[in-house]
Structure 1
Amino acid sequence: MRVMLVTNPFATFTTPAGRDALDNTLAARYHVDVEHTTHRGHAGELGARAAAEGYDAVVVHGGDGSVNEVANGLLGHPDRSDLPPSASLPALGVVPGGSANVFARALGIDRDPLVATRQLMDMLDARQRRTISLGHTLGRWFLFNAGMGMDAIVVRQMEDKRQAGKKATAQRYLFTTVASFFSSAHPSPTFTVEVPEHEPLTGVRFGFVSNTGPWTYLGARPIRTNPGTDFDHGLGVFAATSIGVLRNSVLGSKLLTGSKDPRAGHLFRDDDVEWVRFTSEEPADVQMDGDYLGRHSEMLFGCRRHVLDVVAPPATVLPMGK
């Protein structure tokens, strides 16, 4: 079996010793080509090369950003008419190395890199693949979520802190999120959300579009904004018309306690839609899979079913019957 191992030496929780151990472990059983990313977009270039050269699998040891880039490289542009069958592409495997590792954990991959490596090898040996659906916007695929407004502001601030040398810990994410809601220094424009078979929702202050659940993790705790959204169905949308601290504190407590059906008077939620459109009179902050994408005034989110094979356990039954 021919495997490309893509490692991000700048990921939050990777070390030279850990990367070498992973390389040696995989190389004892497979033909492994190791590639270290050196610049933004490099992982995408490596994914495209792996697809062109017919690798059996691409294993990413890094954070969600690196995994997103590799997936985009494997598949190419979401609007391409000649999208290859998933079985003809290398399968995507992940050994967590970032701070949140949302995609890997949503797939059922253990957050411990040693345990995840054993999982990965067992599944590679069995040639176990699972085909998942992906969301897309702005000509890029997203693996688990994208957002406009307040959560994107938080991502932007976290990127600033990482560039200042601070680690992206769960505690720092929580503090930054709470501080952003209390602060008037980071205003978010209002925007309109449209989904099929619903009247447009106006006055939205922040919104998420999910390709799966959870939306993120707070340490070991999954935060499920759309409990009925998974890798086998359409997109989940979660849009709030208020950034008021009291109203969102109540909603946040429901998310933190794992509500199977989070609701609020200022919240619109749908767990399985084909497309979502966000429009704003002035540009608003946007993030995708935890990567800040700048400010945009219009976002159209789509979904393509069963486009990527991943090295992962079979899907588990989610709350609410999915």
Structure 2
Amino acid sequence: MRALLVVNPVATTTSLRTRDVITHALASDLKLDVATTESRGHARELARLAAQNGETELVIGLGGDGTVNEIVNGLLHEGPDPERLPRLAVVPGGSTNVFARALGLPNDAVEATGALLNAIETRRERTIGLGLASGVPGTDDAGVQPRWFTFCAGFGFDAGVVGRVEQQRERGKRSTHALYVRQVLRQFLKEQHRSQGTITLEREGEQPVEDLVLSIVCNTAPWTYLGNKPVYAAPRASFDTALDVLGLSRLTSLAVGRYGTQLLTSSPRRGPRGRHAVTLHDLKDFTLHSQAPLPFQMDGDHLGVRTSVNFTGVRRALRVIA
């Protein structure tokens, strides 16, 4: 099998020695080409070319969730076609690795490589659904290019936290869970003055859901991890269904304490609930609008601010080996 290994050289948890070990292990079983990313967006371009050359059967991402997102968007540059496109595989090298862990892979890069080689040998693969976010016609964001995501997107509070974390990383801070917790607190202090949210969720044939301050869109569960602990914002979300949404309409100290505790104690059977929590399951198409520009993130990558985003859940979009 001809494969392309896309390596992010600044991935948080892999050293040069580890990357060499992984590369040699993969090359022993595959006709392996190796490409190292040089800048943001490079992984997307490498995957796009691999999808077009007609020879590459498998693209392997060695990096974090951002690297995986770029590869997915490169593979699906011309749209989903799981029978034609190369398969995707992941070796986790980031700080959280939500997508790889949601597929059932070990969080250790070397162990995950062993599991991946076993899956290739036994031809173990599955076709998963993905989320697609695009601009809304007739709005200021109409010209925004569509972009795929693998496990989550956020509009509002959580995206603001992601943006803060990225700013700290640009200043040389390491991406740790403690860093995320600090930025959650700072984002809350910034937004707690709001009496109600500005987000409205609209879908055809249903009443709009209004005044949301936070909206998390999930393509799988868990939503994220704190160390080794999975956190479930939408426990029923799955690669085999469309999209799930968790919305919150209050950001008071009491509400943050309540729903924060529910997230920390969440499980595959129980997520956040209460009078100010909205949970929606298996949505194929919906739009989030805001009265004011809000932060937006996809797969943990801050994408600036938006006033509206259209979401589509696309089932059976891409084949993965895991």
Q: Give the alignment's TM-score, normalised by structure 2.
A: 0.91
- Whether the 8 Å contact between 1:131 and 1:307 is mirrored in structure 2 is yes
- Aligned partner of 2:118 in structure 1 is 122
SS in 1 for 2:235: coil
Match of 1:307 among 287, 292, 317: 317
Q: Aligned AA for 1:76?
A: H
What is the correspondence of 1:21-170 to structure 2 with a 5 Å cutoff? 21-53=21-53, 54-77=55-78, 80=79, 83-84=80-81, 86-138=82-134, 139-170=146-177
- Aligned partner of 1:298 in structure 2 is 308
Which ranges of structure 2 fall in alignment gaps of 5 or more residues?
135-145
SS in 2 for 1:278: strand
Q: Aligned AA for 1:246?
A: L
Q: Aligned AA for 1:285?
A: P
After superposition, the Cα gap between the structure-2 partners of 1:99 and 1:240, relative to the gap in structure 1 and judged at 3 Å, is same
- Aligned partner of 1:211 in structure 2 is 219
Bigger mean CA offset, 194-203 vs 25-34: 194-203
- Give, in whole Å, the separation in 2 of the partners of 1:297 and 1:5: 37
Q: Does 1:192 align with 2:200?
A: yes
Which ranges of structure 1 fall in alignment gaps of 5 or more residues?
313-322
- Aligned partner of 1:178 in structure 2 is 185
Match of 2:280 among 264, 270, 287: 270
- Whether the 8 Å contact between 2:197 and 2:250 is mirrored in structure 1 is no
What's the CA shift for 1:56? 1.6
Q: Deviations over 1:101-150 (max 9, x none)?
A: 00000110110111101000001112221100000012011100001111
What's the CA shift for 1:15? 1.4
- Whether the 8 Å contact between 1:189 and 1:282 is mirrored in structure 2 is no
Q: Give RMSD over aligned pairs.
A: 1.7
Q: Deviations over 1:145-177 (max 9, x none)?
A: 001111010010011011011111112112211
Q: Aligned AA for 1:50?
A: A
- Give, in whole Å, the separation in 2 of the partners of 1:218 and 1:289: 15
- Aligned partner of 2:253 in structure 1 is 245
- Whether the 8 Å contact between 1:147 and 1:208 is mirrored in structure 2 is yes
- Give, in whole Å, the separation in 2 of the partners of 1:131 and 1:39: 29
SS in 1 for 2:83: helix
Q: Deviations over 1:19-47 (max 9, x none)?
A: 11111111122111110000111101111
- Aligned partner of 1:225 in structure 2 is 233
Q: Does 1:235 align with 2:243?
A: yes
- Whether the 8 Å contact between 2:291 and 2:307 is mirrored in structure 1 is yes
SS in 1 for 2:217: strand
- Whether the 8 Å contact between 1:237 and 1:276 is mirrored in structure 2 is no
- Give, in whole Å, the separation in 2 of the partners of 1:3 and 1:104: 18
Q: Aligned AA for 2:39?
A: H
- Give, in whole Å, the separation in 1 of the partners of 2:57 and 2:46: 14
After superposition, the Cα gap between the structure-2 partners of 1:37 and 1:189, relative to the gap in structure 1 and judged at 3 Å, is farther
SS in 2 for 1:171: helix
Q: Aligned AA for 2:31?
A: H
